[in-house]
Structure 1
Amino acid sequence: MILLSRFFIIDLFIVRLSMACKIAIFNMKGGVGKSTTAYNLAAGLVQSHNQRVLLIDTDPQGHSGAALGLPIWEIQAQLKDVFQGQISIHQAITSTSSGVDVVPSNIQLAEEEIPISGRPGRERLLQKAIKSVTDQYDFILIDCPPNIGVFSVNALMACDGVLIPVDMSYLGLMSIQGIERALKLIREELEHPIQIVGVLATRFDKRNKLSKEAFESLHEHFGDQLLQTVIPETVRLREAPSFGQSIFEYDPKGNGSRAYKVILDEVMVWQSRNQNVQH
């Protein structure tokens, strides 16, 4: 009986280790590189770290799926159908040439925001939907829209951690207060203990004094939560989606690719630490 109990504990430990690490990429400001970070991290985790990755696009703009080559206006199944309860999340998953599985969206998702907002348990719809696939992936990354509406709340409630891209501008710094209020809502009002994976400085221009000042301000505010690697302002990052490729495929030796490779390592370290805390 004792032997069986020990085997049960070992099996349970293995199952828990196989559960996906779930990370939301969130900022209430647009144009900060949320989608760019989401699809490049997803592709990089697959290609450089041999991870199984599901990318869920909760932004009705659908940029994450489009950037990885999906014809988002022709998709037969998408996230809105999952929220409506018409299909399971399994049925909405689409494979891409990058090796990333995607649950895509398009503008039709926006049409569901008001109906979903009136449903009981609306904050946990995505959390419940992904339970059936968490043992099939190492990472589930969720690209959020630039607001704290029902889709962003669903994404944050479904995740263990949040990665926060902040662009190096005055308005980028102004967004921090809104981000912190949103996370406080999730932690205190909805009682979900989401952690900060890191704060990522994006659109960094080393020739620009404002970029350096903004980075210093972020460091003063967030301390060790600020990732030391910055994502540079580079045209290659903006060009890659038009070819349906991640930056690692489009410009593997460029500054953007090198920066995101370092971020990949930091995300892998966070995953390892998070698992150790849980166990």
Structure 2
Amino acid sequence: MTRIYAVANQKGGVGKTTTCVNLAASLVATKKRVLLVDLDPQGNATMGSGVDKSELELTVYDVLTRRADARECLQTSESGQFKLLPANGDLTAAEVEMLSLDGKERLLWDGLQPIKDEFDYIIIDCPPSLNMLTVNALTACDGVIIPMQCEYYALEGLSALMNTIGRIQELLNPNLKIEGLLRTMYDPRNSLTNDVSAQLSQHFGDRLYRTCIPRNVRLAEAPSYGQPVLSYDRQSKGAIAYLALAGEIIRRNENDEKAAAHAAHS
């Protein structure tokens, strides 16, 4: 069964793209088949996966505007060993074009259907705003992973995202849920970090991942080499943290499946 996760937070600079690229590579390291979908016109996930966004003939833009099917647009990240539906600046135009298309909220969902079953995990990197691209990601996914820094304004931004998720559950995707909250750029020596972390734990309980992603130089350097940190420096704290996150996500899914099977039998 394919799991589709949107990695979203309308606040920029919280580690969304870093999480997408490194989670994709870490899931591959556990022998999962992974597709990363870059839905951000900046194309950072594409570049961070080692694919040159300026050389692309076809991108996710062509899928969303129904000019090409997803299979024609797929690239392979050599450094991360996952498949990539890439993006570049063309995606900015898609925003406007999508508004005039029928079923505009479901264009990504429709585009993924023919290839979905070839993957265990599909990870979608959302832009840092709650626009039509993000709506498409939230309509196409099973769950949202929310990366956030433990800082004062983080909680404010979270409430806007929660409202959006609520609206999309009502109108477009009743099965949408918050898969988990991920603490990024984590520094346990900082007292504010610990305060915000405690608030998140209190509010979200077991939806808060136990894994925290530390501030890590190697993690910050890896994208400029077009590599996930796992291939750039496997021993680094960043690489170890994302492997731990992949393990935590897989275990959660296995537990959910067992619980669902148990409920079906009882």
Give TM-score scaled by structure 1 length. 0.89
Return 130-139 or 166-175, whichever deviates more: 166-175
Counterparts of 2:105 and 2:256 in 1: how far apart (Å)? 23
Counterpart in 2 of 1:113?
95
Contact 1:38 1:143 in 2 (8 A): yes
Q: CA deviation at 1:210?
A: 1.6
Is residue 2:239 matched to residue 1:264?
A: no
Within the alignment, does 1:67 sit opposite 2:76 as a pair? no
Preserved CA contact (<8 Å) 1:60 1:109: yes
**Equivalent residues of 2:150, 2:193 under 8 A apart:** yes
Normalized against structure 2, the TM-score is what? 0.93
Once the two structures are superposed, what CA deviation does each residue of 1:234-259 show, in whole Å capped at 9, x if it has no partner? 22111001111111111211211121
Distance, in Å, in 1 between the alignment partners of 2:104 and 2:256 is 27
Deviation at 1:139, TM superposition (A): 0.8
Tell me if 1:159 matches 2:152. Answer: no
Q: For residue 191 of structure 1, report the CA deviation from its aligned partner.
A: 4.1
With 190-199 and 171-180 compared, the bigger mean Cα shift is at 190-199
Residue 93 (structure 1) aligned with residue 93 (structure 2): no
Q: Where in structure 2 are the equivalents of 1:55-204 lying within 5 Å?
A: 55-97=36-78, 98-204=80-186
Q: How many residues align?
A: 260
Q: Tell me the SS of whatever aligns to 2:128.
A: coil
Q: Which has more radius of gyration?
A: 1
Distance in 1, matches of 2:69 and 2:23, equals 25
Distance 1:269 1:244 in 2: 29
Match of 1:52 among 16, 29, 33: 33
Shift of 1:275: 4.0
Q: In 1, Cα distance between the equivalents of 2:161 and 2:214?
A: 22
Kept in 1, the 8 Å contact 2:27–2:243? The answer is no
Distance 1:82 1:31 in 2: 27
Q: Select 1:207's aligned residue among 175, 179, 189.
A: 189
Following TM superposition, by how much is the alpha carbon of 1:148 offset from its aligned partner in structure 2, in angstroms? 1.4
CA distance in 1, matches of 2:47, 2:214: 22
1:232 is the counterpart of 2:214: yes
Structure 2: runs of 5+ lacking an equivalent = none
